[in-house]
């Protein structure tokens, strides 16, 4: 069937935006974490997996893993260090893949491989190829988040796991407003978006930014936030619905509980604990009981946490959430 002119033009717009996204992430390779902070990063990640309810030191052993949208490969390599048989990282940014390959080579990691492929490509791996699929911060930057999600689920083996980290519509309330404004005044012009973002939205200019508990480049944050042309988000309830429709049952979610948030806040405050954040973290410490497991958001708790984090200077911390779920084997 012939496609209409409108459909063709929508497809062309989409292809052009995907090209700009690839180009942007090839120039600004994300997250490009400084290897000097590897130990803090790994501690932070171990904590997060424990909060999701698994023991990361044994859970990944012998598994075949996919990291969908691996960027510069930090998580891919971290997973590779936890004893799996193999981890494959895929991404559409050649620049990021180049960094990832170089880092893996320098570190002498052998059970990892990086390939240029899209999370939207339903031919790239057969159904049920992986024991564990991880996709952190990627599919909300594609034009069809739901299609990408379904494709990730397809590649998980029965009894296997999918872990996603996705933008939270509620936590991203302010951010979504900022981006709506940028869309209106700058459209797809990435240079202009960044110019405006630096001028009007970069209100913590010059201060350090911590990502996953370690210092990261401020530019990385600015580009990843304001230059990407696709940035979808959803509520936890919607995401849990998607998992359910695909036959995956939630194992754990984060950040969900007050104690989890405080533990994360402590991790974000760094080891030195000397800043104002450090003092606040120390005062809050007794509230951070570390029992794992998940609890779904209830409205009051969500507003409470978001306000608290806003006051503590982590206004977008609840801006994304992580859900780990297991595929139920068919009877
Ligand atoms: C915000 S970065 C996240 C990187 C890494 N997973 C992390 O958590 O730091 C998003 C990544 O998704 C990649 N990406 C965007 N669209 C993609 C697609 N369709 N398939 C695979 N990767 C994609 C980008 O190139 C970029 O490296």
Q: In the chain, where are the structural domains located?
A: 26-170+229-327
The CB density around residue 44, as the number of other CB atoms within 10 Å, is 18
236 within 8 A of 297, measured Cβ to Cβ: yes
Q: What is the pLDDT of residue 293?
A: 34
Q: What is the pTM of this model?
A: 0.82
- Alpha helices, H only, 52-172: 56-59, 74-80, 94-107, 145-154
Tell me the C-alpha distance between 326 and 242, whole Å.
Answer: 13
Query: Tokens at residue 313, please?
Result: 């200077």
Top-tier CATH class for 26-170+229-327: alpha beta
Q: Which residues, at least 6 apart from 296, have a Cβ–Cβ distance to it below 8 Å?
A: 236, 237, 240, 253, 256
* Average pLDDT of span 312-322: 60
Please give the share of the chain, as a percent, with pLDDT higher than 90.
Answer: 46
Residue nearest to atom 18 of ligand 1 (CA): 118
Q: How far apart are CA 282 and CA 286, in angstroms?
A: 8
For ligand 1, say whether the CB of 92 is within 6 Å of any of its atoms: yes
Ligand 1 within 6 A of CB of 242: no
- Mutation to probe ligand 1, out of 23, 69, 103 (largest number of atoms < 8 A from CB): 69
What is the per-residue pLDDT for 290? 43
Pocket lining: 75 vs ligand 1, CB cutoff 6 Å: yes
> Could you identify the residue written with the tokens 């306000």?
307
pLDDT band at 60, cuts 50/70/90? very high
Residue nearest to atom 16 of ligand 1 (CA): 142
Q: Which residue puts its alpha carbon closest to atom 26 of ligand 1?
A: 71
Asked if residue 89 has its Cβ within 6 Å of ligand 1, the reply is no
* Nearest residue to 60 via CA among 112, 24, 114: 112
**Better-predicted residue by pLDDT, 69 or 267:** 69
Band of pLDDT at residue 305, cut at 50, 70 and 90: low
């Amino acid at each position: 069937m012939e496609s209409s002119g409108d459909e063709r033009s929508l497809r062309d717009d989409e292809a052009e935006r995907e090209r700009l996204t690839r180009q942007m992430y090839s120039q600004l390779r994300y997250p490009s974490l400084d290897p000097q902070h590897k130990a803090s990063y790994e501690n932070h990640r171990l904590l997060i997996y424990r909060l999701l309810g698994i023991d990361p030191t044994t859970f990944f052993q012998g598994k075949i893993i996919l990291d969908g949208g691996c960027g510069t490969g930090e998580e891919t390599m971290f997973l590779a260090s936890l004893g799996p048989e193999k981890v494959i990282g895929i991404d559409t940014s050649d620049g990021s893949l180049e960094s990832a390959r170089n880092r893996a080579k320098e570190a002498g990691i052998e059970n990892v491989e990086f390939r240029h492929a899209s999370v939207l490509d339903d031919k790239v791996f057969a159904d049920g190829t992986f024991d564990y699929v991880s996709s952190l911060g990627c599919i909300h930057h594609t034009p069809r988040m739901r299609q990408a999600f379904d494709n990730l689920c397809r590649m998980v083996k029965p009894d296997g796991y999918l872990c996603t980290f996705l933008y939270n519509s509620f936590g991203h309330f302010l951010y979504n407003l900022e981006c709506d404004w940028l869309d209106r005044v700058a459209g797809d012009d990435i240079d202009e978006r960044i110019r405006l973002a630096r001028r009007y939205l970069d209100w913590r200019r010059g201060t350090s930014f911590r990502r996953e508990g370690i210092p990261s480049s401020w530019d990385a944050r600015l580009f990843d936030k304001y230059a990407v042309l696709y940035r979808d988000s959803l509520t936890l309830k919607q995401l849990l619905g998607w998992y359910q429709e695909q036959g995956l049952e939630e194992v754990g979610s984060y950040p969900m509980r007050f104690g989890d948030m405080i533990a994360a806040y402590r991790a974000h405050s760094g080891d030195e604990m000397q800043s104002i954040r450090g003092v606040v973290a120390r005062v809050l410490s007794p509230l951070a009981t570390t029992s794992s497991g998940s609890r779904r958001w209830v409205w009051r708790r969500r507003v409470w946490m978001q306000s608290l984090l806003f006051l503590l200077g982590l206004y977008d911390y609840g801006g994304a959430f992580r859900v780990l779920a297991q595929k139920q084997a068919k009877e």
